[in-house]
Amino acid sequence: MNPRILHVIGDKGVGGSNIYVKRLVTSRLQEEFNFSVGRLEEIKPKIKHLNPDLIVFHYACAWRYLPQLLWLKQYGQLAIADHHYCQGFEHLWSKR
């Protein structure tokens, strides 16, 4: 059984981090991992069913998310993806 990776995104709008996550979950890595993607509000009611091995938190780093991080941590290993990038990042990723 492939490891289950849950990507928790803060915004479904077009942007560099969402382009990155979309490309990642549709890459050849999907042969080795089962990816799920959703906003925190969407994830909360179904996280027990998803049973993730790893949760990647793609929100902007802020103290206000600490309660959510602590809550998520009880459902799987937690990683924080801090998306700081330069102006050319979005342009580069949109061409791939």
- 7 phi, psi to nearest 5 deg: -100, 115
Q: pTM for the whole thing?
A: 0.81
Question: What pLDDT score was predicted for residue 57?
Answer: 94
**Rounded distance, CA 18 to CA 72, Å?**
20
How many separate domains does the chain show?
1
pLDDT, tens digit, 9 for 90 and up, residues 63-87: 899 999 999 999 999 999 876 656 6
pLDDT of 49 higher than 90: yes
pLDDT averaged over the chain? 86
- Which domain does 67 fall in, by range? 4-94
- What's the CATH number where 79 sits? 3.40.50
- Confidence band of 61 (pLDDT split at 50, 70, 90): confident
User: Which pLDDT score, from 0 to 100, does residue 35 have?
Assistant: 96
